[in-house]
Amino acid sequence: MLDGIRFEETGKPAVVVATTSFVRLAYSIRRSMNLDDLPVVVISHPLGGADLAREKASEAAPEIIKAVIGMY
């Protein structure tokens, strides 16, 4: 979340990826920092091992790309 905020502050596009266990926290921080336009992509928790994390990343990739493209 903090990396996403720092990127936004420097004008670089950012997308926060949060697991379902941390999505409320991500939205709360986003709201408190007045970054309502900062996209948050939610994936299921827990990430699991390397293979499962890779699978979740592949599934989330289109949504992340869509969020970045929507910034332009």
pLDDT per position as a tens digit, 15-51: 999 999 999 999 999 999 999 999 999 999 998 899 9
Closest by CA to 44, choosing from 34, 53, 33, is 53
Mean pLDDT, residues 52-62? 95
- Band (72; pLDDT cuts 50, 70, 90): low
3 to 27, 48, 49: CA distances (angstroms) = 15, 22, 23
As to burial, measured by CB atoms within 10 angstroms (0-12 exposed, 13-18 middle, 19+ buried), residue 22 is: middle
- Residue type for 24, please? R
Cα(45)–Cα(12) distance, rounded to whole angstroms?
A: 27
Given this model, what pLDDT does residue 60 score?
A: 97
